[in-house]
Structure 1
Amino acid sequence: MEKLLFFSFLAGVSVFIGGLLAYIFNHHLKDTPIKYELSHSFMAFGSGIILSAVALVLIPKGLEELAVWPLVLTFLSGALCFLLIDWYLSKKGGQTATLLAMLMDFIPESIALGAVFASQSQMAKLLAVFIGLQNLPEAFNAFRDLTQSGFSTRKTLLLFFFLSFFGLGGALAGHFILSDYPDLTAYLMTFASGGILYLLVQDLIPESKLKNTYLPTLGAILGFCIGMIGEKII
């Protein structure tokens, strides 16, 4: 239980760390082309990490536990669900759209983390690392959007601090409710994969692209490479 608490907290606290990085980056660094390029490279790095989490952890669990049609339908349902939520948020606008988009993949992944920790602790540890690394760029972008929409820096950082504990709550819920149901865990991870892949292609990858520079693309490759290293080591 101590290890579950530690790794789920490690995954969640990156939300607050991502907000702090955004605060430092936006308020303490001068606006230069290099700053703009680094910002997009950071988003691309997060895209690579997210893609590696889908390809190396979430989807393999579904392939292992589910038959073909349940796997396909669950994956497409996740993508469709996230599409509808994204469409609703784009129509509504406001200050919380990016924040809600971040939570849409953070919470299901945290529940899956708790569910698989008892039986597959090595995979759960890798998933915790993936969740933490992908939360950094997502929180970075969410902080920027919230402050530009009118939230104060202090209020936004306080919000991110409390959101960091959502991962801990989700992991505990998954551990006590789903740990004895590997098929339900596989459904959840496959559903989350479809939604995450939708967000990745729809939002993160287009936003990270810049003309006349290759650094963001290399950042995405580095992010995926780190995912491969983590899978190989653990």
Structure 2
Amino acid sequence: MNQWIIAGFWGWLAGSALLIGAAIGYFVKLPQKVISAVMAFGSGVLISAICFELMDKAVQNEHFLYPSFGFLAGAIVYSLAAKIVSSKGGKHRKRSNKQDTGSGMAIAIGALLDGIPESIVIGLTILTGGSVSSVAVFAIFLSNLPEGISSSSGMRNAGRSKEYVFALWLGIALLSGIASIAGYTLFGHFSDDVIGAITCLAAGAMLAMIVTTMIPEAYEEDRDWSGIITVMGFLVSFIASHI
């Protein structure tokens, strides 16, 4: 089987968490603390994946220039894009059910801000390691789940139809698979330095998203246990990356 097909499959699998979360959020009223616990655990998993699956493998022969530039650029681009979306009335992707969701397009853009680089990472892990990083897929899946839950619940409360909600998240999930294919196919002919910089650009965007969105909301809803749950997520991912 062609590797690009495999990249697309894993990208769509990680993106499918958006649809699963959307179904849960639209049809089931989960306590916000449950959503926050998933978010905290996913934060820990993602931080570990960034450290040991992305940054560590992107730095080769103690060559830090390109990875460092990509890492900082990813954080800057993500933060600026998130600010633009927020200024246009769209709340960022993982907001609690109590908040206004803004327009559908703003929600879609907010989700794509981290969904695209996350999916590109999946394709890059196949490109650089020969096989997909199961830890990276698991981490991205977990980060997408609370996004679908909280956002679709908010859209339901705002009167959006289920057809609108699921069409929106299906489109984003499909784009995640396409981004994963792009991560594998478009960067196959670049040098290791360029691939490392692109990998770290995605990692920087992901870390900025975690710090500005996932961790604050998890802490806001569950201040007693969010720290411990985040550490547990990091530990599980760390162990998985070394097995």
Number of residue pairs matched by the alignment? 226
Look up the match of 2:74.
78
Query: Would you say 1:38 and 2:34 are equivalent positions?
Result: yes
After alignment, is 164-173 or 95-104 more displaced? 95-104
Query: Would you say 1:191 and 2:201 are equivalent positions?
Result: yes
Contact (CA 8 Å) 1:46, 1:133: kept in 2 or not? yes
Find the residue that maps to 2:111 and give its secondary structure.
helix
C-alpha separation between the residues in 2 aligned to 1:225 and 1:154? 39
The amino acid that maps onto 1:53 is A
Contact (CA 8 Å) 1:37, 1:215: kept in 2 or not? no
Find the residue that maps to 2:200 and give its secondary structure.
helix
Instruction: Report the TM-score, using the length of structure 1 for normalisation.
Output: 0.83
Q: 2:20 aligns with which of 17, 28, 48?
A: 17
What runs of 5+ residues in structure 1 fail to find an aligned partner?
A: 30-34
Contact (CA 8 Å) 1:65, 1:183: kept in 2 or not? no
C-alpha separation between the residues in 1 aligned to 2:62 and 2:222? 44
After alignment, is 224-233 or 111-120 more displaced? 111-120
Show the 5 A alignment for 1:1-234. 1=2, 3-26=6-29, 35-64=31-60, 67-93=63-89, 94-95=102-103, 96-181=105-190, 182-210=192-220, 214-233=224-243
- Share of identical aligned residues, percent? 26
C-alpha separation between the residues in 1 aligned to 2:83 and 2:162? 27
Instruction: Report the CA distance between 1:88 and its aligned residue.
Output: 1.0
Find the residue that maps to 2:160 and give its secondary structure.
coil
Instruction: Report the CA distance between 1:48 and its aligned residue.
Output: 1.6
Contact (CA 8 Å) 2:122, 2:183: kept in 1 or not? yes
C-alpha separation between the residues in 2 aligned to 1:196 and 1:61? 16
Instruction: Report the CA distance between 1:226 and its aligned residue.
Output: 2.4
Contact (CA 8 Å) 1:66, 1:186: kept in 2 or not? no
Contact (CA 8 Å) 1:75, 1:193: kept in 2 or not? yes
Instruction: Report the TM-score, using the length of structure 2 for normalisation.
Output: 0.80
Instruction: Report the CA distance between 1:186 and its aligned residue.
Output: 1.5
C-alpha separation between the residues in 2 aligned to 1:110 and 1:3? 13
In structure 2, do the counterparts of structure 1 residues 51 and 184 end up closer, same or farther at CA, with 3 Å as the change threshold?
A: same
C-alpha separation between the residues in 1 aligned to 2:222 and 2:84? 34
C-alpha separation between the residues in 2 aligned to 1:108 and 1:116? 12
Contact (CA 8 Å) 1:115, 1:176: kept in 2 or not? no
In structure 2, do the counterparts of structure 1 residues 118 and 189 end up closer, same or farther at CA, with 3 Å as the change threshold?
A: closer
Contact (CA 8 Å) 2:42, 2:139: kept in 1 or not? no
Q: Which string of whole-angstrom CA distances, capped at 9 and with x for unpartnered residues, describes residues 44-69 of structure 1?
A: 12222221221221211332378333
Contact (CA 8 Å) 2:40, 2:230: kept in 1 or not? yes
Superposed CA RMSD in Å reads 2.5
Contact (CA 8 Å) 1:74, 1:187: kept in 2 or not? yes
